[in-house]
Structure 1
Amino acid sequence: MPIPQDDPNDQDIYQEHVLDHYEDPYNRGPLAGATHAHDGKNPLCGDKIHVDLRLDENGRVAEAWFEGDGCVISQASASMLLEEIEGKTIEEVEKFSAEEMLKLFGPQLTPNRQKCCLLSWKVLKGALHRPVGTEADPSNTEEDETESQTSFGGPSLGEEQ
């Protein structure tokens, strides 16, 4: 009997491309010369992500690196996301939606596992507005604007803080 589409099993989540990104992540480690950075965590499960960006003079992501600890989903999705956004303009990165992130990851996830996948996406959005060596952009409120406008099912990312 086939598994219903809305009830993914663990085997589907650990597809080969997901495990490849987890075992051999793209740009994992600190970025010397980062111009922007941000940290985030999911206190419900313990996932942690730090994103370093180097934005060039043309408003493009010249380099994107991450560090973190957590489940296969959170770490693999960070690798996938940073590979995807390198070379894109700030505007293109800001338009990259939660739904696009979930599609990029691939396997269908339950709402709680979506939070693991979307952690790096949330941290990346925050990093765009946090130059290294300065306070956070004062126009941002406690809750990131992208967070309050995004609905992806399950508990909101703001409920974790």
Structure 2
Amino acid sequence: MSMDYREYILDHYRDPRNFGKLEHPDVHCEDSNPLCGDQLAIDLEFEGDQVSQVRFQGRGCAISQATASMLSEMIEGRPIKDVIALGKNDVLEVLGIPISPARTKCAFLSLRVLHRALAMAGHEHPASEEEEEE
């Protein structure tokens, strides 16, 4: 990759992939981070046992919005079972930079919304360390 990870995050923030809405999603979920005001909505369509399309909308800091963009690229076309298994470590790995404790809720907002959307669609993920602290 020719750009460093900070530039990569800013690129996803300024030019988000899969940004928008699906006309007829199989599931729509939204949530926010009340501590900083980040907002995120995810639309998913499924085809068989795969996530066929994903779109997100939101507003907030570069970390929350770039992570949503990166996560959308990670899940589109993948088997639902693989998407369910995604966790916090996967998000941190794709970000590629250390995240301060204060920014983790920003970084994990899209993962939380994704897991809730999957649960709404009947695809529960197992309770584990991935559950956010309330």
Structure 1 and Structure 2 fold alike (TM over 0.5): yes
Percent identical across equivalent pairs? 40
1:149 to 113, 124, 128: 128
Q: Which amino acid aligns with 1:104?
A: V
1:43 matched to 2:18:
no
The CA distance in 1 between the partners of 2:80 and 2:102, in whole Å, is: 28
Q: Which runs of 5+ in 1 are unaligned?
A: 1-11, 132-136
1:120-161 deviation per Cα after TM superposition (whole angstroms, max 9, x unaligned): 011011111224xxxxx6xx7xxxx66x5226xxxx8342xx
Q: Which amino acid aligns with 1:46?
A: G
Contact 1:26–1:82 (Cα < 8 Å) also in 2: yes
1:14-47 deviation per Cα after TM superposition (whole angstroms, max 9, x unaligned): 7111011000000111111210121111111111
Q: Alignment partner of 2:78: what SS?
A: coil
The CA distance in 1 between the partners of 2:91 and 2:7, in whole Å, is: 18
The CA distance in 2 between the partners of 1:89 and 1:64, in whole Å, is: 13
Q: With structure 1 as the length reference, what TM-score do the two structures score?
A: 0.74
Q: Which amino acid aligns with 2:90?
A: E
The CA distance in 1 between the partners of 2:46 and 2:112, in whole Å, is: 18
Q: How much has 1:51 moved relative to structure 2?
A: 0.4
1:81 matched to 2:71:
yes
* Number of equivalent positions: 131
The CA distance in 1 between the partners of 2:56 and 2:87, in whole Å, is: 19
Q: Alignment partner of 1:149: what SS?
A: coil
- Could you list the structure 1 runs, at least 4 aligned residues long, displaced by more than 6 angstroms after superposition: none
1:66 matched to 2:46:
no
CA RMSD of aligned residues (A): 2.1
Contact 1:37–1:128 (Cα < 8 Å) also in 2: no
Q: Which amino acid aligns with 1:123?
A: V
Q: Which residue number in structure 2 is paired with residue 18 of structure 1?
A: 9
Q: Which amino acid aligns with 2:45?
A: R
Rg (Cα) greater in structure: 1
The structure with more strand, counted as a fraction of residues: 2
The CA distance in 2 between the partners of 1:49 and 1:115, in whole Å, is: 12
